[in-house]
C-alpha cells in the first residue's frame, strides 16, 4: 500500500466517521445569563398537564370535557355555555377555531401534503385552542385559558378569505363586573403569519403578580413516513440575546429549560414545519419543554414553548404567530433569524454553512426552481456548478494521484530494496518525491479544502423543504428515500428497503476509486478499500433523502469524467515523452554513425 493512498484512506475515513458521529444531534446547553427566576405555580401546572390533542377525533363535534371542573373562583363562571366551531379558509391554510380556549384547534396547510397525499395537519384531534394563557389568580387559582369557554363575536361557522383580504376572529371571556379577557386573531390570506392581541379589560387586577404565560400546548404532528428521521430534527427553540438556543432530546425522557430576560421569540418545530410565537413587547422569560417516548419509528415527540410576560397596564399585549413550513421565503418575512432553525450543518461548521446556504444555495434553488420544470434537474445543475467551481482543487488532486500512480513501480522497488531498513526506505522515498516534484499529500489536501462545501450540502439536503415532495424519475419525493426494492426483512442501519439513487451513487464511487487508485492493481489490500467505503456509505445513505443521493451521484459522475480527462492528458504526456526519447536515441545513433563515417574517410585519406 503506497503512502499517499494510505493517508488518503485514513483522512477520508476520519471525515466520514465524524459525519456519522454528529448525525444524531445532542441537546445544546443553554447559556444562562441570569439565575433562574422563580416560576409560579401556574407554570408548573402547565408543565405537568397532559396533552389535549387526543380527546376528540372530530373537531367539528366538540363537546365540553366530561370531567369534574376544578374551582376557578371568578373565572369559574362565564357567560358561554355551548362550544362552537368556526372554520376559516385561505389559499394557504384551513383553521378550525373553537371557543374552548378561544383559539385555533386545528391547522391544515393546503399547499403541503403528507406522504399519504393528505393535507399536512400540524395539530388535530383536539378540543381546545392550541394557544394557552396561564396565570395565578389573586384568589390563588391556577387559570388556563384552554379550559375556559369564551364567547365568539363572529357568529359564522364558515369564513373564506380571498387573496389580499384580512379577517379578525375575536373571542371574549365575559366575567363578573363587566371584566373581559379578549383574544383577537388577525388573519391575512397571503401569509402564514397570524396576529394576536390580548386585552385584559378589568382582568389585570385579578392576575397575581401581573405576570402571565402564553404558549403553544399540543405537539406538532408528524408529516413524514419515517417518524425516527422526523424526531431527529424536532426540537424547541428560543431566540434571545441575539443567540438561537435549542432544547432537544435524542432519547426517551423529559426535560425543561428556563430562560430569564427579554425573549425575541420561541418556537417548536418538526423536520419541515414550525410554529413560532414572537412578542411585540418586552417579556420576562421563556420556558421550553421536551417529552420523548418510544423508539425508532414508534417514537413520539412533544415539544412546547412558552413565553412569560407582564399584563399590560393599558391596551393589548400583541404577538405575531407563525404556523407553517420551514421555507426561507416565508420565514425571512416573519423574522430574519427564524430560518436558522433549519439544520444546515454541524455546530463546528455553522460559521461556513449558514452563509453558504443563505447566500448561495437558497438563491440558486429559488431562481432555477422557477425556471426548470423539475427540482431534480435543479439538483443536477447545482452539482455541475459546484464541480466547475471546485474544478481547480479537484484537478490538482487528480493530477497528484495520477503522478503518484506513475511512481508506483519505483516506490515498489525501493520497498523491496530497503525492506529491512524502514528509515532508509523513507529517506529514499522522499528523495524520489522531491526528484519527481510530487507532493505526497497533494491528493488529500485539495479534498480537505472542499470538504466544508460537501459536508454542508450533505447536511442541508436532508432538511430542505425546497425539495420536499418534488419527484424526479422513479423518486416520488426527493426529501425521502427512493425505494426501488422492498426487503422481506429489516437490517440494522439499512432498513427494510433499498434506495435506487444510493445504489447508483455507491457504484459510481467504486468506479471512481478504480480510476483514481492504481495501487489496487499491484496491492491486493487496496482492492478491499475500493469496496469498503462505498458499502459503508450505501448502508448509511439508504435512509437519507434521495435528493442527497442524486446530488452525490451526479457529482461522482462528473468526477469520473474529470478523472478520465486528467488520466488521458497524463498518458498523452507520457507517450510524447516516450516518443521524444526514441527520437533522441535515433538522432544520437545517426550522429554517432556520421562521426564514424568521417573518421573512416579521414583515415583513408591519410593512408593514400
pLDDT in tens, 13-35: 554 455 444 444 444 333 333 33
Pairing of strands 285-293, 253-260: antiparallel
The answer to whether residue 24 is domain-embedded is: no
CB 266 within 8 A of CB 306: yes
11, 38: one domain = no
The answer to whether residue 141 is domain-embedded is: yes
CB 479 within 8 A of CB 467: yes
Could you give the CA distance from residue 215 to residue 183 in angstroms, rounded to a whole number? Answer: 14
Contacts of 86 (CB under 8 A, 6+ apart): 96, 97, 98, 152, 154, 156, 157, 158, 159, 169
370, 276: one domain = no
233, 380: one domain = no
Specify the pLDDT at position 450. 66
Range of the domain at 471: 3-17+364-566
The answer to whether residue 23 is domain-embedded is: no
63, 7: one domain = no
497, 561: one domain = yes
Flag whether pLDDT at 50 surpasses 70: no
User: 440-458 burial string, b = 16+ CB within 10 Å, else e?
Assistant: bebbbebbeebbebbbbbb
CATH number at residue 102: 2.70.98.90
pTM above 0.75, yes or no: no
Flag whether pLDDT at 53 surpasses 90: no
User: 140-157 burial string, b = 16+ CB within 10 Å, else e?
Assistant: ebbbbbbbbbbbbebeee
Which 3 state secondary structure label does DSSP give 546? helix
560, 529: one domain = yes
120, 200: one domain = yes
Written as nine digits, the cell of 41 is: 405555580
111, 240: one domain = yes
315, 412: one domain = no
Could you give the CA distance from residue 210 to residue 222 in angstroms, rounded to a whole number? Answer: 37
Could you give the CA distance from residue 181 to residue 172 in angstroms, rounded to a whole number? Answer: 6
The answer to whether residue 602 is domain-embedded is: no
83, 195: one domain = yes
Q: What percent of the chain shows pLDDT beyond 70?
A: 69
Could you give the CA distance from residue 455 to residue 582 in angstroms, rounded to a whole number? Answer: 49
Handedness of CA 450, 451, 452, 453 (dihedral sign): positive
Confidence class of residue 381 from pLDDT cuts 50, 70 and 90?
Answer: very high
Element (H, E) at 508: helix 500-516
The answer to whether residue 197 is domain-embedded is: yes
Could you give the CA distance from residue 101 to residue 151 in angstroms, rounded to a whole number? Answer: 10
With vertex at residue 538, the alpha carbon angle to CA 350 and CA 493, rounded to the nearest 5 degrees, is 85
Could you give the CA distance from residue 106 to residue 121 in angstroms, rounded to a whole number? Answer: 7
**Count of structural domains within the chain:** 2
Flag whether pLDDT at 576 surpasses 70: no
Flag whether pLDDT at 322 surpasses 80: yes
Could you give the CA distance from residue 51 to residue 251 in angstroms, rounded to a whole number? Answer: 20
Question: Which of these ranges, 92-101, 522-531, 549-558, has the smallest mean pLDDT?
Answer: 522-531
Domain boundary among 342, 377, 403: 342
CB 573 within 8 A of CB 401: no
Higher pLDDT, 574 or 345: 345
Tens digit of pLDDT for each residue in 463-497? 888 888 888 888 888 888 888 888 888 787 777 78
Could you give the CA distance from residue 100 to residue 536 in angstroms, rounded to a whole number? Answer: 53
275, 329: one domain = yes
For the sheet with 103-113, list strands across it.
119-123, 103-113, 93-98, 85-89, 158-160
Q: What is the DSSP letter of 103?
A: E
365 — alpha (psi -120 to 50), left (phi > 0) or beta?
alpha
The answer to whether residue 573 is domain-embedded is: no
306, 391: one domain = no
Specify the pLDDT at position 37. 37
The answer to whether residue 127 is domain-embedded is: yes
Question: Highest mean pLDDT: which of 182-196, 222-236, 405-419?
Answer: 182-196
In angstroms, how far apart are the furthest CA atoms of the chain?
148
The answer to whether residue 533 is domain-embedded is: yes
Written as nine digits, the cell of 49 is: 398537564
Written as nine digits, the cell of 238 is: 428560543
Amino acid at each position: 500500500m503506497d503512502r499517499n493512498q494510505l493517508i488518503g484512506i485514513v483522512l477520508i475515513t476520519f471525515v466520514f466517521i465524524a459525519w456519522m458521529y454528529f448525525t444524531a444531534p445532542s441537546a445544546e446547553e443553554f447559556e444562562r445569563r441570569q439565575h433562574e427566576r422563580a416560576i409560579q405555580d401556574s407554570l408548573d401546572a402547565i408543565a405537568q398537564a397532559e396533552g389535549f390533542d387526543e380527546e376528540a377525533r372530530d373537531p367539528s363535534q366538540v363537546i365540553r370535557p366530561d370531567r369534574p371542573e376544578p374551582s376557578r373562583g371568578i373565572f369559574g363562571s362565564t357567560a358561554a355555555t355551548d362550544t362552537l366551531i368556526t372554520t376559516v379558509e385561505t389559499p394557504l391554510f384551513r383553521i378550525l377555531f373553537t371557543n374552548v380556549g378561544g383559539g385555533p384547534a386545528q391547522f391544515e396547510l393546503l399547499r403541503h401534503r403528507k406522504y399519504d397525499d393528505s393535507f399536512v395537519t400540524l395539530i388535530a384531534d383536539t378540543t381546545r385552542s392550541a394557544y394557552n394563557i396561564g396565570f395565578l389568580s389573586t384568589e390563588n387559582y391556577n387559570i388556563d385559558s384552554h379550559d375556559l369557554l369564551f364567547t365568539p363575536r363572529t357568529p359564522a361557522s364558515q369564513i373564506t378569505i380571498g387573496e389580499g383580504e384580512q379577517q379578525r376572529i375575536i373571542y371574549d371571556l365575559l366575567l363578573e363586573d363587566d371584566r373581559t379577557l379578549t383574544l383577537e386573531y388577525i388573519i391575512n390570506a397571503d401569509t402564514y403569519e397570524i396576529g394576536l392581541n390580548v386585552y385584559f379589560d378589568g382582568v389585570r387586577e385579578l392576575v397575581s403578580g401581573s405576570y402571565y404565560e402564553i404558549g403553544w400546548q399540543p405537539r406538532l404532528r408528524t408529516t413524514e413516513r419515517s417518524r425516527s428521521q422526523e424526531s431527529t430534527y424536532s426540537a424547541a427553540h428560543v431566540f434571545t440575546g441575539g443567540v438561537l438556543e435549542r432544547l432537544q432530546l435524542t432519547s426517551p425522557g423529559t426535560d425543561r429549560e428556563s430562560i430569564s430576560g427579554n425573549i425575541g421569540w420561541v418556537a417548536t418545530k418538526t423536520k419541515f414545519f414550525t410554529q413560532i410565537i414572537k412578542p411585540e413587547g418586552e417579556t420576562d422569560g421563556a420556558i421550553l419543554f421536551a417529552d420523548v417516548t418510544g423508539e425508532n419509528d414508534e417514537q413520539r415527540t412533544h415539544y412546547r414553548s412558552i413565553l412569560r410576560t407582564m399584563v399590560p397596564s393599558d391596551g393589548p399585549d400583541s404577538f405575531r404567530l407563525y404556523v407553517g413550513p420551514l421555507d426561507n421565503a416565508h420565514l425571512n418575512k416573519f423574522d430574519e433569524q427564524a430560518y436558522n432553525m433549519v439544520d444546515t450543518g454541524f455546530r463546528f461548521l455553522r460559521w461556513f454553512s449558514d452563509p453558504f446556504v443563505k447566500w448561495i444555495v437558497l438563491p440558486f434553488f429559488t431562481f432555477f426552481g422557477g425556471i426548470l420544470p423539475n427540482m431534480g434537474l435543479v439538483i443536477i445543475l447545482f452539482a455541475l456548478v459546484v464541480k466547475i467551481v471546485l474544478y481547480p482543487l479537484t484537478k490538482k488532486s487528480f493530477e497528484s494521484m495520477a503522478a503518484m500512480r506513475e511512481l508506483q513501480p519505483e516506490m515498489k522497488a525501493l520497498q523491496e530494496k530497503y525492506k529491512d531498513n524502514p528509515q532508509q526506505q523513507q529517506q529514499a522515498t522522499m528523495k524520489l518525491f522531491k526528484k519527481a516534484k510530487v507532493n505526497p499529500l497533494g491528493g488529500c489536501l485539495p479534498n480537505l479544502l472542499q470538504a466544508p462545501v460537501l459536508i454542508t450540502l450533505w447536511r442541508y439536503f436532508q432538511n430542505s423543504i425546497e425539495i420536499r415532495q418534488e419527484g424526479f424519475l422513479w423518486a416520488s419525493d426527493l426529501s425521502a428515500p427512493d425505494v426501488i426494492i422492498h426487503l422481506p426483512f429489516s437490517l440494522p442501519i439499512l432498513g427494510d428497503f433499498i434506495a435506487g439513487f444510493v445504489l447508483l451513487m455507491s457504484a459510481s464511487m467504486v468506479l471512481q476509486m478504480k480510476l483514481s487508485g492504481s495501487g489496487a492493481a499491484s496491492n491486493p489490500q487496496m482492492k478491499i478499500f475500493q469496496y469498503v467505503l462505498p458499502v459503508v456509505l450505501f448502508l448509511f445513505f439508504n435512509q437519507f433523502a434521495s435528493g442527497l443521493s442524486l446530488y452525490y451521484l451526479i457529482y461522482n459522475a462528473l468526477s469520473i469524467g474529470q478523472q478520465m480527462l486528467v488520466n488521458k492528458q497524463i498518458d498523452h504526456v507520457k507517450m510524447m515523452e516516450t516518443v521524444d526519447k526514441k527520437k533522441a536515441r535515433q538522432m544520437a545513433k545517426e550522429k554517432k554513425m556520421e562521426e564514424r563515417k568521417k573518421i573512416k574517410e579521414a583515415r583513408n585519406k591519410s593512408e593514400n
